[in-house]
Structure 1
Amino acid sequence: MRAGIVAAAMAAAWCVTGCAGTPTADDGDQSATAAGKQLARVAAGDHRSETNIARNQYRHPVQTLQFFGVDPDMTVVEIWPGTGWYTEILAAYLRDNGTFYAAGFSLRSVTVPEYRERIQREYVAKLRDRPTIYDRVKLTAMGPPEDWWVAPDNSADRVLTFRNVHNWMKDGYASLVFDGMYDALKPGGILGVVEHRASPGTSLETMETSGYVTEQHVKILAARSGFEFVESSEINANPKDMKDHPEGVWTLPPSLRLGDKDREKYLEIGESDRMTLKFRKPAG
């Protein structure tokens, strides 16, 4: 089925003018809706650390999740939740009426780096420490070569991933991940991607080493798996980010890989410029 629609999806991937959306006057009012109010409460909830809440100004979770159309009664998959920044919001938001799958790093893979194994074990411990929030999270894994099943096929209303595409590219299995996300979604379901945004024309080698990926390349990866591009948003844009840092995206907060060197400069820039892209699995 995927092969029959790739050609049309590839054409959509190249659409820029007239296809990409930017925030409208209504974007700032989204949090006034019932779902927006609920998301806002969760995003500022006392189960979250002050450090994580402080990053709301850069990651815009309420606006981002509303742009992706995440409702509290949906089945949602988060791919590679890392330390759980978005899990803190999604698990609480979906707990009573929805279903939340967290497809983390594979602990069965013989090639998983030690730091990913450590992050995944800390993530699992985090969930166990707060059962009133996380007891209904369904843990799965995504990683080579054993684990590609992130949720039952055709089961998810939304699949979301935040700042991970560059990792899959560097590891050499980005296309397989997009295939897996496609399979998990219901026909008509939405894939939401947030990623550090490279300047147009950036080489694949630079994308893999800098952490920044072009919008065009993400659209091509999605189209190859059969997705249709729907629209984009500038919710997570940062025009201060010139993307020319000595340690790539990790030069900026929250990583600040250079330590105290030019620290104030990078704090002034803030977190990276990010694309926010919405794709759809065709309905038929």
Structure 2
Amino acid sequence: MTRSILTGAASLLILAACASHTDSDLPPAEAPPPPAFAESAADEAAINAAIVSPARPETDVERDELRKPGAVIEFMQLQPGETVLEMEAGSGYFTEIFSQYLGDKGTLYMQNPAAFDAFLGETAVDRAARLDNVEYIKSDFDEIPLEDASVDVVTWFQGPHELWYTPEGGGKLVGNAEASFPELMRVLKPGGQLVIIDHTAPAGTPESSGGDTHRIDPQIIRDTASDAGFVLIAESDLYDNPDDDLDASVFDEKVRGMTDQFLMKFEKPAARPE
């Protein structure tokens, strides 16, 4: 189920009017304002074609039940032909599907930090090389080599918690946490969207959980995105799992692959006319 989140200004104005007028002197009712984000539905036929594509590796297909790619794209309302930046794409499970779905007119930037080379090897680079509409980007999260306002959608799946991972010996693994969300704001077009999935930590858990259990309190992500200027417009319970031990590491065999995860969609506010 998806929960859409709209600004409360219109509701507050209506409540104020109700407090100061009787029914007899209220003006005629007006239709509510449209939502701040596009309502265009994803292309169901294109989603299905991307998921059943024979070009997909069997090892990817085996993960579909857990990753639920069709439902994620529907939640995103992603459109064929758009330009997408896939942050921390890993070996490219979603890259393959996004590439097929976006089609020849779409562009997909597959991003990973250089620090991931140690365990990814050439798997991500090789996948990007055989997908015509995919360009591989190796960069930190706070320095994306793309032009301002050049991307329709940014995805960051199962990765934002990495911003608060501190390796042994100190320092950050993948860039500046405070600068990373503003960098995503920079590359997005006005009205563009940021879609995030991550492993859930209990409410009130400190940021350090990103390096301890590789989970994060969803409120930390909401606050970090808001501080960068994003507006939260929808959340989904797609990956809810009430049986998950939220204090367990995501690599613990008792929860691995079955963690409770949050799915959120943020919007970069459209530029206001002068």
Superposition TM-score tier, normalisation by shorter sequence: 0.7 to 0.9
Instruction: Name the structure 2 match of 1:143.
Output: 140
Instruction: Name the structure 2 match of 1:164.
Output: 159
Change (3 A) 1:175 1:65: farther
- 1:174 and 1:221 in contact (8 A); partners too: no
**Paired residue secondary structure (1:63):** helix
Shift of 1:117: 4.2
Shift of 1:177: 1.7
The 5-angstrom pairing of residues 81-120 of structure 1 reads: 81-106=89-114, 112=115, 115-119=116-120
**Paired residue secondary structure (2:122):** helix
**Larger CA deviation: 172-181 vs 183-192:** 172-181
- Identical-residue share of aligned pairs (%): 28
Please provide the CA RMSD for this pair.
2.3
Instruction: Name the structure 2 match of 1:155.
Output: 150
* In structure 1, C-alpha distance between the alignment counterparts of 2:78 and 2:121, rounded to whole Å: 25
Q: Deviations over 1:150-187 (max 9, x none)?
A: 43210111011101111122136222221111111000
Shift of 1:43: 1.8
- 1:105 and 1:117 in contact (8 A); partners too: no
The one-letter amino acid of 1:235's match is L
Aligned match for 2:230, one of 227, 230, 242: 227
Q: TM-score, normalised by structure 2?
A: 0.75
Aligned match for 2:196, one of 193, 196, 207: 193
Change (3 A) 1:209 1:266: closer
Instruction: Name the structure 2 match of 1:283.
Output: 270
- 1:105 and 1:120 in contact (8 A); partners too: no
Instruction: Name the structure 1 match of 2:30.
Output: none
The one-letter amino acid of 1:98's match is G
Instruction: Name the structure 2 match of 1:236.
Output: 239
What is the number of equivalent residue pairs in this alignment? 225
* In structure 1, C-alpha distance between the alignment counterparts of 2:198 and 2:42, rounded to whole Å: 28
Q: Deviations over 1:111-164 (max 9, x none)?
A: x3xx53451632112233xx3xx02212223317xx712432101110111011
Instruction: Name the structure 2 match of 1:61.
Output: 69
User: What runs of 5+ residues in structure 2 fail to find an aligned partner?
Assistant: 1-6, 9-40, 166-171
**Paired residue secondary structure (1:81):** coil
The one-letter amino acid of 2:203's match is P
* Bigger RCO (CA 8 Å, 6+ sep): 1
- 1:175 and 1:224 in contact (8 A); partners too: no
Q: TM-score, normalised by structure 1?
A: 0.73
**Paired residue secondary structure (1:57):** helix
Tell me if 1:37 matches 2:45. Answer: yes
Higher helix share: 1
* In structure 2, C-alpha distance between the alignment counterparts of 1:74 and 1:223, rounded to whole Å: 24
**Paired residue secondary structure (1:66):** helix
The one-letter amino acid of 1:143's match is D
* In structure 1, C-alpha distance between the alignment counterparts of 2:94 and 2:225, rounded to whole Å: 22
Shift of 1:60: 1.2
**Paired residue secondary structure (1:186):** strand
**Paired residue secondary structure (1:204):** coil
Tell me if 1:127 matches 2:135. Answer: no
Shift of 1:191: 0.4
User: What runs of 5+ residues in structure 1 fail to find an aligned partner?
Assistant: 1-10, 13-32, 107-111, 257-264
**Paired residue secondary structure (1:249):** coil
Change (3 A) 1:185 1:241: same
Aligned match for 2:260, one of 253, 273, 281: 273
* In structure 2, C-alpha distance between the alignment counterparts of 1:67 and 1:278, rounded to whole Å: 8
* In structure 1, C-alpha distance between the alignment counterparts of 2:107 and 2:157, rounded to whole Å: 19
Change (3 A) 1:42 1:116: same
* In structure 2, C-alpha distance between the alignment counterparts of 1:175 and 1:127, rounded to whole Å: 29
User: Who wins on radius of gyration, i.e. which is larger?
Assistant: 2
Change (3 A) 1:142 1:53: same
